Structure 1
């Protein structure tokens, strides 16, 4: 018991001095609030997370059971949750690991049977139904019960030190206000039971269930110094079924269904297909006037698309770093979709030779993109001019007037300076 208390005390001390310079007074970063003017999440009262929590609602958690208890079912009680070490949420109540076979046990579901039942050559284009789809749903519900973690209002979740990891988790901030997630690695939100959607994209596709972080009707959210990736299982290594990649991961950070006043800063998004969706869909007109998001000093590395893709929202995108490694599957970075208003400043893109500057932007019903100060492989480029020239005659030209000018932001550096600073300082374990 004495040893356990000593370890707990050491971890608590580490949390208190995390990122405190030598010679400075120790501070408790778990009670940090979003600085004034730091993006959209600073508007309309700002974002304080669980800073008002009393001592009884400050938790240090080391297991899924402790984390679930601290989250309190997504309650609005002010709370601070400090994550120590690695927590795998695919575990039972005693901490034993649960795999896909455990969730499927007794349901009758297998991938082989599912593929045989819904092969488009025999099943056709109808949505899956019947025995195997019902079995898949039961197994999927078992996994969801373990991996989906509801985050309520007035909550701060912060990693201790440089090794705080949530593995397999889907943090879901649904209809909650005032949430902070910082200094945490979120890894491999792996869906054991993708569903086949025959009519998706015209050719059909596999749909997965879990965003690593999902803001669903959430307001006043600050995501800072987070690392999110598929580390553990790469979708590129998954097989192809029905001529489509058997995807296991959804978004790294999706911001949808009227979410608003969000700042994402100094974070890393890596090794993933569809990284960040802002906006629910082209017909989700209830998102108008919402989805105000600031993305600054983030790194997007080996991300195939959606960095981000935006519908309806006013999104300030500045001082971010984009890296496309040789051999990556790459489609685009900035997606300009229905009624989006993206204001992009001083972002740096580094790619191998097979990616052209014209590939960086993609539009679906978008009309405008403001961009200045862009660097592409070390050289200044005008993304808007390049996009319009490349797509002349095939898509509608984008204008530079997005209808608004950001006023809430930190100092905006040159793209070259930001590229170096983000390389040094972004991601979990680098909170300084």
Structure 2
């Protein structure tokens, strides 16, 4: 079924289209492809996504529901074709989220409307004239919001139930799109590099903290209100637009990235394995709000294993409410990188962090591996820091006496496909994690 055609500005942006912001005239090419990694399913007992049923994605897709796509329009058309019928969507090459109908990348200026430009915005809300007591409002903030709405319609791409999204070969890449697994079930995402999902229109908030901050939207991948999701052998990062390279406005970094991979809003039964998450600030949230207990209690059951978190500042992950099993991951903070903490212990969380390896450069404090946000117990056993077995809770409590953590999450993970010795984890994970590895 062809995607609905809409008409708007030069780049065919459309606010009336619910799910497609760029004009598309034909659906993505359907190809009959049999076997191989594309029809792989999550193994029995491999993390929370294997509980209460199974996670098979599009493994049962008929040949006419296997698609090969190479641009954003084809990707969306493949997702929209045949509703929730099992489907396999193969990304071949590079898909740009910020692109025109033919897949050619476009710049932020193509979304600007209502008189918005960054220079105009900076002039309107310069603290020297606007002050620091109120968030921006008025015509230029309205123009920013309208421009941001146009970009959102292009950037957010929604995955249906019963889908396998998989990269072809070593180089499948998604740049600038936010892949949304939202309120669906049974999805597999494998073998893709996700890069630089950037916000063209960050908001300046002078009331955020003592000095104000720029706040942005969009994550590379979001699991939102969905269940039975397996995310495996992908690479997440900021690509050619690192935050450290962005300018300072009002003496604050112009932050264009939010998270890399978030699991929020009552999502449940997720396994993330053999991924690389690198060179980023706010890396992974599991549970997005302390006030979301009504929707999140009993959910947010997530397994993280054999992932490489390299030079990420924080949230690897930060956990609220969920029963999260994090084991056999490798956390690397190289000398010169910015490092705040690894595990954030948040509201009503029940985090188990075991058999992990940490490689910290000179000058990093082991006491900051854990960070207490709320009064919640944690299990942290058999973890190794720079090759030595380390009691992370004891080290934290000794180094941060004002924020004592309580040992014992109150549950024992049972869904683990294999447990490697923490000393072996760096070599295994560094060699085997990320996109382009699967054959």
Q: TM-score, normalization: structure 2?
A: 0.90
In the alignment, the residues of structure 1 paired with residue 178 and residue 424 of structure 2 have an alpha-carbon distance, to the nearest angstrom, of 33
Q: Which of residues 383, 399, 402 in structure 2 aligns to 1:390?
A: 399
Deviations 1:355-405, CA, capped at 9 Å, x for gaps: 02112111111331111111111111110111111122x12x222211111
Q: Which of residues 30, 38, 51 in structure 1 aligns to 2:46?
A: 38
Deviations 1:226-278, CA, capped at 9 Å, x for gaps: 10000110011111223321111111001111000000000000110010000
Specify the alignment match of 2:337 in structure 1: 328
> Which stretches in structure 2 are left out of the alignment for 5+ residues?
1-27
1:138 shift after superposition: 1.8
1:202 shift after superposition: 4.6
1:36 shift after superposition: 0.4
Contact 1:74/1:152, CA 8 A, preserved across alignment? no
Matches within 5 A, 1:95-244: 95-104=103-112, 106-124=113-131, 125-244=133-252
Q: Which of residues 235, 258, 278 in structure 2 aligns to 1:270?
A: 278
1:74 shift after superposition: 10
In the alignment, the residues of structure 2 paired with residue 270 and residue 297 of structure 1 have an alpha-carbon distance, to the nearest angstrom, of 14
Moved more, 240-249 or 167-176: 240-249
In the alignment, the residues of structure 2 paired with residue 107 and residue 35 of structure 1 have an alpha-carbon distance, to the nearest angstrom, of 52
Q: Which of residues 304, 311, 317 in structure 1 aligns to 2:326?
A: 317
Verify: 1:305 aligned to 2:314, yes or no: yes
* 3-state SS of 1:68 partner: helix
In the alignment, the residues of structure 1 paired with residue 124 and residue 312 of structure 2 have an alpha-carbon distance, to the nearest angstrom, of 33
1:132 shift after superposition: 0.9
In the alignment, the residues of structure 2 paired with residue 399 and residue 126 of structure 1 have an alpha-carbon distance, to the nearest angstrom, of 39
1:73 shift after superposition: 8.0
Q: Which of residues 416, 420, 432 in structure 2 aligns to 1:413?
A: 420
* 3-state SS of 2:423 partner: helix
In the alignment, the residues of structure 1 paired with residue 146 and residue 81 of structure 2 have an alpha-carbon distance, to the nearest angstrom, of 22
Specify the alignment match of 1:3 in structure 2: none
Q: Which of residues 68, 79, 101 in structure 2 aligns to 1:71?
A: 79
1:145 shift after superposition: 1.8
Deviations 1:124-176, CA, capped at 9 Å, x for gaps: 42232211111112221222222110111111100011111111110011111
Verify: 1:364 aligned to 2:373, yes or no: yes
Deviations 1:10-60, CA, capped at 9 Å, x for gaps: x989x76xxxxxxxxxx4211111100000000010111111222221101
Verify: 1:400 aligned to 2:407, yes or no: yes
Q: Which of residues 426, 435, 438 in structure 2 aligns to 1:431?
A: 438
Specify the alignment match of 1:337 in structure 2: 346
Verify: 1:355 aligned to 2:364, yes or no: yes
> In structure 2, do the counterparts of structure 1 residues 329 and 73 end up closer, same or farther at CA, with 3 Å as the change threshold?
farther
RMSD, aligned CA: 1.9
Specify the alignment match of 1:19 in structure 2: none
In the alignment, the residues of structure 1 paired with residue 384 and residue 103 of structure 2 have an alpha-carbon distance, to the nearest angstrom, of 48
Specify the alignment match of 1:24 in structure 2: none
> In structure 2, do the counterparts of structure 1 residues 149 and 74 end up closer, same or farther at CA, with 3 Å as the change threshold?
farther
* Greater share of residues in helix: 1
Number of residue pairs matched by the alignment: 410
> Which stretches in structure 1 are left out of the alignment for 5+ residues?
1-7, 17-26
Verify: 1:29 aligned to 2:52, yes or no: no
In the alignment, the residues of structure 2 paired with residue 74 and residue 315 of structure 1 have an alpha-carbon distance, to the nearest angstrom, of 34
In the alignment, the residues of structure 2 paired with residue 83 and residue 247 of structure 1 have an alpha-carbon distance, to the nearest angstrom, of 29
